[in-house]
Amino acid sequence: MNNTLQKNKEYKKFVVDSRLQYFKPHATKIEKTFAEEISSGLGTNSKSIHPKFFYDKKGSELFEKICSVPEYYPTRTEISILKKLQSELSSYLDEDFRLVELGSGSSTKTRLILDFLTSQKTLEYFPIDISEILTESSEELLNDYQNLTITGIIDTYEGGLEFLKTYDDKSNLIIFLGSSFGNFSPIDGYKFLEKVYATMKPGDLFLIGLDLVKDKTILESAYNDSEGVTAKFNLNVLSRINDELDADFNLQNFSHHAIYNEKDQRIEMYLKSLVDQSIIISKSDLELKLQKDELIHTEYSHKYRLSQIHDLLDDVGFELKHTWLDDKKYFSLTLVSKT
Ligand code: AVI
């Protein structure tokens, strides 16, 4: 199979050494998209900033911190399930396959999967992440896993999947952990799953981690932690717009707001304007006017019932292999294949 995207030079290739290379779309492509998306998200009546923009270097670091605050149960719960499923997962895997991770971040959880794959002579890992944190985490992984080679793709999930589709014929185990899927709107989520399905070859596997519906107080505390790390994470997107799009947001004039919407089964996260104000975002060519108490929507984090997960995956065409849960049934990991 031809590596068309590479040949089309949509990506710049960086070869660090024989075990590490990464691909990045040309910078102008990303910059333009950011300025345009901010302009269309904030230039309307119901204002929003897409959550993918949280993850600049600082935002990714803050997210790592969220993962260890006591109230944020998803990460440690998912880790406990990953530890349990290690031995069972191997029975579904071919001898020779590549591990692909969507939204790899710091690759902490990846280690739990790599740990039981050490019997493979060589192991290829394809992290796909919008953040450059990928390059640092890859170097740490290479130090700890001698049989590993890494090809990183610094791009959106969609871009990364498109890249993978034309790469080669090797089998893939694609993992999408942390309930990141919950951050999509239902329509975008469905399209994303169709894209994953279309990328997969028969026999490829997809492992998805999803947060489950539970008591409202547990959910709301997870997104309103007492140390205020989630608040910093939410506000950081405004600093990013200041830095990259030449804007003048005063962060003191905003507060973090996160509530659980039971009907739509999702945490809704907003930035609340504390005063009447006007902000210039030069590179988006926008003067943003906000009234006191007006909300900018920044994130949905959907929660699921098991039956909904199974129906959704089934609708897209996947074949269900297994679902693993923790003892409290807070979180789920589901393995599916393409037939
Ligand atoms: C990345 N994503 C799954 C996190 C979530 O729980 O929706 C992002 C997050 N937002 C606030 N806290 C964590």
Q: Is residue 61 in a domain?
A: no
Q: Find out whether the beta carbon of 223 lies less than 6 Å from any atom of ligand 1.
A: yes
Computed on alpha carbons and rounded to an integer, the radius of gyration of the chain in Å comes to: 20
Q: Phi and psi dihedrals of 10, rounded to 5? A: -75, -20
**Ligand 1 atom at shortest distance from the alpha carbon of 74:** 6
Closest protein CA for atom 9 of ligand 1: 63
Q: Is residue 290 in a domain?
A: no
Q: Is residue 264 in a domain?
A: no
H or E segment to which residue 220 belongs: helix 216-222
Q: Is residue 245 in a domain?
A: no
Q: Which amino acid is at 275?
A: V
In the reported structure, the alpha carbon of residue 12 is separated from the centroid of ligand 1 by a whole-number distance in angstroms of 30
- pLDDT per residue, tens digit, the chain (339 aa), is 445 555 445 889 999 999 999 999 876 555 558 999 999 999 999 999 999 899 888 998 999 999 999 999 999 999 999 999 877 888 898 778 899 999 876 677 899 998 877 667 789 999 998 777 778 888 889 999 999 999 999 888 888 999 998 888 899 999 999 999 999 999 999 999 999 999 999 989 999 999 999 999 999 999 999 999 999 999 999 999 999 999 999 999 999 999 999 999 999 999 999 999 999 999 999 999 999 999 999 999 999 999 999 999 999 999 999 999 999 999 999 999 998
10 Å CB burial of residue 217 (0-12, 13-18, 19+) is exposed
Range of the domain at 175: 3-29+67-215+304-337
Closest protein CA for atom 1 of ligand 1: 180
Relative orientation angle of helices 229-245 and 57-66, to the nearest 10 degrees: 170
Q: Is residue 127 in a domain?
A: yes
Q: Find out whether the beta carbon of 230 lies less than 6 Å from any atom of ligand 1.
A: yes
Sign of CA dihedral 267, 82, 142, 122: negative
247 DSSP assignment = B
Q: Is residue 40 in a domain?
A: no
Tell me how far apart the alpha carbons of residues 237 and 194 are, in angstroms, rounded to a whole number: 29
CATH of the domain at 332: 3.40.50.150
Q: Find out whether the beta carbon of 236 lies less than 6 Å from any atom of ligand 1.
A: no
Tokens (6 digits) for 258: 């996160």
Tell me how far apart the alpha carbons of residues 217 and 205 are, in angstroms, rounded to a whole number: 35
In the reported structure, the alpha carbon of residue 168 is separated from the centroid of ligand 1 by a whole-number distance in angstroms of 32
Q: Are 335 and 206 within 8 A, CB to CB? A: yes
Q: Is residue 288 in a domain?
A: no
CA 310 to mean position of chain CA atoms: 21
Q: Half-sphere exposure of 80 toward its Cβ, with a 13 Å CA cutoff?
A: 13
Q: Is residue 12 in a domain?
A: yes
Domain count, the chain: 1
Q: Are 88 and 333 within 8 A, CB to CB? A: no
